[in-house]
Amino acid sequence: QVQLVESGGGLVPAGGSLRLSCVASGFAFSIFDLTWDRQAPGRQRELVATFTSSGIATYGDSVKGRFTISRDNTKNTVYLQMNSLKSDDTAVYYCNAHRLLAGRRFEYWGQGTQVTVSS
């Protein structure tokens, strides 16, 4: 059974930090590209950061220089270190794993973790 379980969300004051974790199971984690996405109330889901299976990290413009994505394939876990948090970072954060295999896209989502930044 495929599972992605996020944790680490919570309430933090503006300027603070949080570290999100997402533990995966049930699939070949190391060959999947991983992303963190977020969705705030009334807004579209936004791609925050990506860490590919080949080791490349990329970020959305709104989080560059503040957030860091990393992965530990030995623990089947992807992390999102969030620093200098702003009220605009308030959202539900989701981890995602995806891979194109033999012409078929495999994609899995976690249930999300709430991050609330107080101003």
Q: pLDDT of the chain along its 119 residues, tens only?
A: 999 999 999 999 999 999 999 999 999 999 999 999 999 999 999 999 999 999 999 999 999 999 999 999 999 999 999 999 999 999 999 999 999 989 999 999 999 999 999 98
Tokens of 87: 């009220």
3-class SS at 13? Answer: strand
Q: How far apart are CA 71 and CA 81, in angstroms?
A: 11
Q: What is the pLDDT of residue 46?
A: 97
Q: What is the pLDDT of residue 73?
A: 97
Q: What is the pLDDT of residue 110?
A: 98
Distance of CA 53 to the CA centre of its chain: 15
**Are 22 and 6 spatial neighbours (Cβ–Cβ below 8 Å)?**
yes
Q: What is the pLDDT of residue 30?
A: 97
**Are 31 and 16 spatial neighbours (Cβ–Cβ below 8 Å)?**
no
Q: Give me the phi and psi of 43, to 5 degrees please.
A: -125, 160
